[in-house]
Structure 1
Amino acid sequence: MRKLVVALTLCVAVVAPVQAFEAFTVEDIRVEGLRRIAPGTVFNYLPITTNDEVDRQLAADAVRALYDTGFFQDVELERDGNALVVNVVERPSVADIEISGNSAIPTDALKQAMSDSGLAEGETYNRALLEGIERELRRQYFGQGRYDVEIETTVSPLPRNRVAIRIDIDEGQTARIRDVHFVGNDAFSDRELDGVFSLGRKPWYLPFSRRDRYSREALSGDLENLRSHYMNRGYADFSINSSQVSMTPDRSGIYVTINMDEGEEYRLGDVRVIGDTVVEPEELEELIELETGDLFSQERITGGANRIRERLGQEGYAFANVNPVPDINRDEQTVDLTFYVDSGSRAYVRRINISGNYRTDDEVIRREMRQMEGGWLSSENIDLSRRRLNQLGFFQNVEIETPQVPGESDQVDVNVDVTEGLSGSLQAGIGYGSGQGMLLNFSVAQDNVLGTGDRMQLALNNSRVSSLYQLSYTDRYYNVDGVTRYFNASLRETDARRARLSDYGVRAGNLDIGFGIPLNEEDQVRIDVGYEDLRLNLGSQATDDQRDFVDEFGDQYENFKTEVSWIRNTYDRRIFPTSGARQSLGIEASLPQSDLQYYKANYSHRRYFSLAEDWSLSLQGRLGYGEGYGDTSRLPFFENFFTGGINSVRGYRASSLGLRGEDDRPTGGNFRAVANAELYFPVPFIDSPAVRFSTFVDGGQVYNTREQDIDFDDMRYSAGVAFTWMSPLGALTMSLAEPLNDEPGDDLDRFQFSLGQFF
């Protein structure tokens, strides 16, 4: 038998001479040496079939093709008469992969990355692939600043042509930044520039800070922040010449050196807008908010271009291009700025497509859309539509895209994709409040009844102070004009003595109907009318004033009530807003046919200011005034305003401020004033949208104008810190406050908290 040994390895197959042989026609092909791989796999990759004439070149190509599959570590071709014999030695398979010593990168993540690269249990072992994974693993650890990492790989043969792979990792210590040194800075000190960097030496007062942990990605971001710092402060020629990173010999410390050229400080010269502006150029120039003589600022220039783009988007020019071009005059150190505007074609909406709403009717979504089909595309209407959909509370996420219609330069589709959340709830639980005591609650609520967008709720709540039984229904779109209709039936029982107030109890049943009438996208007028059946129960320790009221008006009342209120809401979101404001002005009054005639007026205004990422300031003021009219000479004492506690002036016991009766218990008053200033800020290591921290200053007081003058010098103030968590049981709120001007006799309660939903 004549043998033709074509190659032992791919290298030999490609470049080494093959033993001289006579070409022959293949009548049969046999494959020998297979254990795991099916013969059909070899035939699929073998470029030789029966009746082919095999020569030296074709044999070399066949060896190369089989070797390239990665299945074999050795391939030989033999001739047995006119039969071609393919002898192969399979690569071993991976029987087991064991990783030890790793903590910075989880084992599951490592194995998944190896599997994605083709190295996993059951796969064919490839040494080159394993070496590549080792290199990538080192790169990952280097990116974390672990430059002394050691990785040792052991491959152990097993029976049946298998191997076990063991990877031992010594992650070492993360290299710490010893210093960041700036070279070439004259306009700003090292200390100022150090504040721009997220990398640097760890402050002594932040022992858990990760600021001194180096990574290439963080350095790249810091260099961009440094460039922005200069470019936004007039240095239009600023450049970073180099950034050098050096390590100590033991690889535990890192020194970063930034070499820069500040250039000169530039101010703006002429600022103009030219091109196809659609609207008057003067209007667009006002949007730029830049004037001759201002310091050059790349951030303000970009902001001006964005505002021009948004303004054109409101007119339907969604693809407008605004290109600010600076012309630097180095002799006079000025920059002339020209905004070139190309409005393009006005885009019209061909179709609004809605997806993801498997429970909510299309109509519920479409009626919130302020972008209409057939109209021009308005960025303002798109943003407003997104905000209105988010405010419904039905959806976890709302995405609106405006792709261009294929083949059309002036048409787009509006694709609305929503991710529905749980709009219904069944709740049963307990809560506690420092002013309410233990709370037991049960409620069934559906915020999207049968996909119509309506709301229905049944609630039964019981606390130490009060009990509430309520059934309500809200028809959000009573008519095509967007009028909302409300129905409510409730029974409330209140024991004021348990709230540390006077000795009386109230049992009130209410039936109400109301309408919310939208005036525009932000303003609404609400009109409510209702019937109230109220029973008053005085205790043995009731005050003389309360007994006089009962003697004059009795202890059972049927009242017909109405309330008219105006609400303006521009919050950016419903829960934990960071910008916008909410104002409300309402007057509640009993009608003349009622047993008691009185009214109460309330005004509140809360505004959020976004200061920086995750930082916001809230300013709030509330006023309330009530009085009797007609046959009722005063506001009923059980309708008095109260203040103090976690929802008004923290640090003082709930409802404790104001005048007191003969029993030294708070009686409330017919005038209330409350003000709050609160700064919300992020806390390290807690990155959750359901958690909020703040520091605050509160002030407030209630007055009885029949017995005292309104003197704001009597206001009580406090300051402290607060924490709120939207837990599965409801809002958990805690505050630690220090009264600032408490007087003898004031009831203090520095630590206050509440858990659960209170009504």
Structure 2
Amino acid sequence: MMRTRLAALLFSFFILGTAQAFTIEEIRIRGLDRIAEGTVLNYLPLDVGDELDGTDSADAVEALFDTGFFDDVELLRDGNALIIQVAERPAIARIEFIGNDAIAGDRLREGLAGAGLGEGQSFDRSLLATIERELEQQYFALGYYDIDVQSTVSPLPRNRVGLRLDIEEGEPASVQPIRFIGNRAFDTDELRDRFEMGPAPWWAFLSNRDKYSRERLAADLERLRAFYRDRGYADFDIESTQVTISPDRQRIHVTVNIDEGVQYTVGDIELAGELIYDEAELRPLLAIESSEIFNQRGITRTIEALREKLGERGYAFARINPLPELREADQTVDLTFFVDPAERVYVRRIRISGNETTRDDVIRTELRQYEGTWLSTKDLRDSESRLGRMGFFSDVRIDTPRVPGTSDQVDVEVNATERLSGSLRAGVGFGTDQGVILNLGIQQDNVFGTGDRAEFVANSDDSDTTYRLSYLERNYTMSGIDRRYAVSFRDRDADEADLADYGLQTATASYGYRIPVTSNDRVGVDVEYDDVSLEFNNPSNIQRDFETRNGPDNTVIRTNLSWTRDTRNTAIFPTAGARQQTRLEVALPGVSDLEYYRLSYEQSRYVALSERFTLVLDGTLSYGDAYGEGETLPFYENFYAGGITTVRGYESNSLGPRDDNDDPTGGNLRLLGRAEVRFPIAEDSDGNNLRVSTFVDAGQVWDRDREAAEGPGDVSLSDLRYAAGLGLVYYSPIGPLTMSVARPLNDEQGDETQFFQFTIGAFF
């Protein structure tokens, strides 16, 4: 290539340089096949009217060669016409790979295109060696060091070529056990556990743990440094690293030479700089203490906590610089955290995007960060959580870019990705607890973008037929109070639910408010009117006694009071935060045929164990009773346990007391608990489609007031039933699919167990 270019330059200089300079009156190009004449003229640093001498001709030839389109370029003169004679390089018609199993052909083509060789491009034979090296590097990254690449160029008609690359991949080299030299405080096996790279265990046949790469080794070495520095070795150093490959290119040996140094403890800890807060207020944020073993992780957590604290007052770009001073004589490290708050940052403007349906003012109502105030990291975090808990969005991201040309202003950009908030459901489902489920539902959780929720539901299964119409009016008042009203009808055949043989019809109307108390707390106040009708076929003593005292038809006016604290980061599959609710239902004396109350407390806590795994802890305690002497909680208001929603592994409603017909009768005291670890195995565009969990459930009900067939309802925690298993939740188009397989851990004679349970289709 260089020889051709040099010859062309000398020839052009000889032909035109020895002749008298002339003014170009015409430019003619010869030898073009695929390349347009206009393309050549665009690259040519000459034009009609220019005066051409030997130096200009050399520059022109050089410019045309630099395009990479030509194998040869000559400049000739015909009178005052400049003739450019070119020989085009052939075009690459196809690139064929033979023998590539470890890397797909498309991926190899991408690598070649990055090196300047792709189908449709001009072929430069001088690049072949570079291309072969590029392919080898791609294989080296996967641990294939015995790779051999041979290229073949085949001429094709119309000045084209076909490129064939024959690849012999060989076997991938495997990393052997890492060797360490210089370790005294920790044995080699413990240090090897810090490395993600190393020999793969026999059972991990799909693992790439034993594949070498520079990036993986660098990350492992950084983990090794963190391991030592978190255990007090503040002056730990990696002196050198040797990587060698065996002669047969099948084994890679890595040797790490380290200098552990000595173990240090923490000496004095000081806070310096412009603290903004009183030092006494910042001291509790220190995640490292004097006299404890020095650890880098504590320093990192302290930096994050101090930065977060200053961010609450608008110093969002504060710098916290830890300054360690090693005192080798007594093996201590004095730490000074120098605080530089930088400038206080204010919010110029809040921009909202991504909300195709939800109105801006609905989103702004949930924000705790306001325009014109200083930027608060706490308010931003609260805003993001509140938007996530609305249930309208699959993802909420808040960014704070600086305002160009300023150092103390930012804009708050809220980007919300909306999920489908409305649904029309008509379908058939099946549940091991409910049998065949017919459902029709029209629901809109964000009516006209206002955040209001409207719903009509008609459901029918083996035991229940339910109709409900409800409306939640969000932000009914300027202070953020929500208003709710609903009507419903329920017809229950208890015998089909494996309960006693009775029928229950209830018509209910309710009206109430949800009142915000704090950013995360709400109080609910509802008034409900219940019209209850009972039918008995084969009544038990409990039901016969109830009918004798109260009759089959009763009217209840009930008030419901609730307190809810919700700090979850999202409403769907949360990974952090908690939800707690206390609820009191009271049948008002004097205006109700029945006088009773029910009190319950529920809590759910979510702890992120890693990016994918979440620990969920649930607990429920419920109690109910009547007011009058000798009165009891109506039997149809009892609590039940057992089944997929309470204690999996036991049949629905089967736990607890039974009546004289040996049917479950429930009780007025219930205790439930659950611990599970959730993780995703498949995701839709919302990232919330399918979750699997491993769980342990516990629960039981007791009846404190009645003497059932099994005797008085004495309460003992030893009565709790436990089960463990695997669960699955999938949000299907017709409603949630919930599935579990569970084994009871302490079932007793007479308990009704069920290994597999599931339900699909919305039910209420």
Q: TM-score, normalised by structure 1?
A: 0.93
Shift in alpha-carbon separation, 1:125–1:312, aligned structure 2, 3 A: same
Which of residues 553, 558, 567 is equivalent to 2:564? 567
2:250 is matched with: 252
1:543 is matched with: 540
1:696 is matched with: 695
Shift in alpha-carbon separation, 1:420–1:690, aligned structure 2, 3 A: closer
Q: Is the 8 Å Cα contact of residues 239 and 261 (structure 1) preserved in structure 2?
A: yes
> Among the aligned pairs, what percent are the same residue?
48
Deviation string 1:288-347 (CA, Å, 9 cap, x unpaired) is 132211111111111111111111111111222111100011111111000111122222
1:146 is matched with: 144
Give unpaired runs (5+ residues) of structure 1: 1-6
- Counterpart of 2:506, as a letter, is A
Shift in alpha-carbon separation, 1:627–1:400, aligned structure 2, 3 A: same
2:89 is matched with: 91
Q: Secondary structure at the match of 1:160?
A: coil
Q: Secondary structure at the match of 1:400?
A: strand
1:642 is matched with: 640
Mapping for residues 230-629 of structure 1, pairs under 5 Å: 230-539=228-537, 541-592=538-589, 593-629=591-627
**1:754 has 2:751 as partner:** no
Which of residues 739, 743, 747 is equivalent to 1:742? 747
- Counterpart of 2:744, as a letter, is P
**1:225 has 2:223 as partner:** yes
Deviation (angstroms), 1:17: 9.4
1:11 is matched with: 6
Q: Is the 8 Å Cα contact of residues 682 and 691 (structure 2) preserved in structure 1?
A: no
1:3 is matched with: none
Which of residues 207, 214, 232 is equivalent to 2:212? 214
Q: Is the 8 Å Cα contact of residues 454 and 475 (structure 1) preserved in structure 2?
A: yes
Shift in alpha-carbon separation, 1:166–1:756, aligned structure 2, 3 A: farther
Q: Is the 8 Å Cα contact of residues 693 and 721 (structure 1) preserved in structure 2?
A: no
After the TM superposition, which of the residue ranges 313-322 and 690-699 deviates more from structure 2?
A: 690-699
After the TM superposition, which of the residue ranges 292-301 and 106-115 deviates more from structure 2?
A: 106-115
**1:724 has 2:728 as partner:** yes
Deviation (angstroms), 1:454: 1.1
Deviation (angstroms), 1:747: 0.7
Q: Secondary structure at the match of 1:529?
A: strand
Q: Secondary structure at the match of 1:720?
A: strand
Q: Secondary structure at the match of 2:177?
A: strand
Deviation (angstroms), 1:113: 4.9
After the TM superposition, which of the residue ranges 26-35 and 43-52 deviates more from structure 2?
A: 43-52
Deviation string 1:251-289 (CA, Å, 9 cap, x unpaired) is 333222222111110011110001111111222222113
Q: Secondary structure at the match of 1:196?
A: coil
Deviation (angstroms), 1:504: 1.6
- Counterpart of 1:476, as a letter, is R
How far apart are the structure 2 equivalents of 1:682 and 1:29?
A: 68
Q: Secondary structure at the match of 1:136?
A: helix
Q: TM-score, normalised by structure 2?
A: 0.92
How far apart are the structure 2 equivalents of 1:243 and 1:74?
A: 49
How far apart are the structure 2 equivalents of 1:651 and 1:742?
A: 10
How far apart are the structure 2 equivalents of 1:273 and 1:635?
A: 61
- Counterpart of 1:720, as a letter, is A
Deviation (angstroms), 1:510: 1.8
Mapping for residues 126-137 of structure 1, pairs under 5 Å: 126-129=124-127, 131-137=129-135
After the TM superposition, which of the residue ranges 587-596 and 726-735 deviates more from structure 2?
A: 726-735
How far apart are the structure 2 equivalents of 1:207 and 1:682?
A: 23
Q: Is the 8 Å Cα contact of residues 97 and 120 (structure 1) preserved in structure 2?
A: yes
Deviation (angstroms), 1:619: 2.9
2:719 is matched with: 715
Deviation (angstroms), 1:652: 1.5
Deviation string 1:48-101 (CA, Å, 9 cap, x unpaired) is 334544333222222111111111111122233443321111112232333454
Deviation string 1:603-632 (CA, Å, 9 cap, x unpaired) is 122223344444443333211111223498
- Counterpart of 1:742, as a letter, is D
Shift in alpha-carbon separation, 1:63–1:161, aligned structure 2, 3 A: same
Q: Is the 8 Å Cα contact of residues 179 and 254 (structure 1) preserved in structure 2?
A: no
Deviation (angstroms), 1:698: 2.5
Q: Secondary structure at the match of 2:509?
A: strand
Shift in alpha-carbon separation, 1:632–1:111, aligned structure 2, 3 A: farther
How far apart are the structure 1 equivalents of 2:367 and 2:123?
A: 57
Shift in alpha-carbon separation, 1:130–1:368, aligned structure 2, 3 A: farther
After the TM superposition, which of the residue ranges 231-240 and 43-52 deviates more from structure 2?
A: 43-52
Q: Is the 8 Å Cα contact of residues 495 and 504 (structure 1) preserved in structure 2?
A: yes
1:4 is matched with: none
Deviation (angstroms), 1:238: 0.8
How far apart are the structure 2 equivalents of 1:17 and 1:562?
A: 101
Deviation (angstroms), 1:572: 2.6
After the TM superposition, which of the residue ranges 383-392 and 602-611 deviates more from structure 2?
A: 602-611
Deviation (angstroms), 1:423: 2.1
Deviation (angstroms), 1:485: 1.4
Deviation string 1:684-724 (CA, Å, 9 cap, x unpaired) is 99997544444333222111112224322442332423232
- Counterpart of 1:148, as a letter, is D
Q: Secondary structure at the match of 1:301?
A: helix
How far apart are the structure 2 equivalents of 1:172 and 1:509?
A: 76
Shift in alpha-carbon separation, 1:372–1:52, aligned structure 2, 3 A: closer
Deviation string 1:492-542 (CA, Å, 9 cap, x unpaired) is 222221221111222222221221111101211111112222222223x33
Alignment coverage as a number of residue pairs: 752
How far apart are the structure 2 equivalents of 1:457 and 1:87?
A: 79
Shift in alpha-carbon separation, 1:617–1:420, aligned structure 2, 3 A: closer
Q: Is the 8 Å Cα contact of residues 483 and 516 (structure 1) preserved in structure 2?
A: yes
Shift in alpha-carbon separation, 1:408–1:55, aligned structure 2, 3 A: closer
After the TM superposition, which of the residue ranges 544-553 and 291-300 deviates more from structure 2?
A: 544-553
2:161 is matched with: 163
Shift in alpha-carbon separation, 1:685–1:248, aligned structure 2, 3 A: farther
Q: Is the 8 Å Cα contact of residues 442 and 457 (structure 2) preserved in structure 1?
A: yes
How far apart are the structure 2 equivalents of 1:90 and 1:681?
A: 59
After the TM superposition, which of the residue ranges 184-193 and 206-215 deviates more from structure 2?
A: 206-215
After the TM superposition, which of the residue ranges 641-650 and 140-149 deviates more from structure 2?
A: 140-149
**Structure 1 vs Structure 2 CA RMSD:** 2.6
Shift in alpha-carbon separation, 1:94–1:597, aligned structure 2, 3 A: same
Q: Is the 8 Å Cα contact of residues 615 and 676 (structure 2) preserved in structure 1?
A: yes
Shift in alpha-carbon separation, 1:358–1:695, aligned structure 2, 3 A: closer
How far apart are the structure 1 equivalents of 2:42 and 2:648?
A: 79
Deviation (angstroms), 1:397: 2.5
Q: Is the 8 Å Cα contact of residues 391 and 570 (structure 2) preserved in structure 1?
A: no
Give unpaired runs (5+ residues) of structure 2: none
Deviation (angstroms), 1:145: 1.7
Q: Is the 8 Å Cα contact of residues 666 and 703 (structure 2) preserved in structure 1?
A: yes
Q: Is the 8 Å Cα contact of residues 572 and 688 (structure 2) preserved in structure 1?
A: no
Q: Secondary structure at the match of 1:443?
A: strand
Shift in alpha-carbon separation, 1:713–1:377, aligned structure 2, 3 A: closer
